[in-house]
Amino acid sequence: MSDGRRLRILTVVDDYSRECLALVADTSISGIRVTRELCSSNARNRRSGGIDSRPSGE
């Protein structure tokens, strides 16, 4: 960004279908916001199962 702040992006991807379920961009994303976005994404997409919190590539 032009003012020197870093941009954070929360990406939620379905590992099976490789569909991007949520993409949230902001300068700061708190744990509470992550929880809210995951619950919202799960409600919108009606996915069952668990959440894998490993970083991508592992």
Beta bridge partners of 26: 8
For residue 35, pLDDT over 60 is answered with: yes
DSSP secondary structure code for residue 7 in this structure: P
For residue 55, pLDDT over 80 is answered with: no
For residue 27, pLDDT over 90 is answered with: yes
For the chain, give the mean pLDDT.
82
What percent of the chain is modeled with pLDDT above 90? 31
Residue 12: both structure tokens together: 């939620």
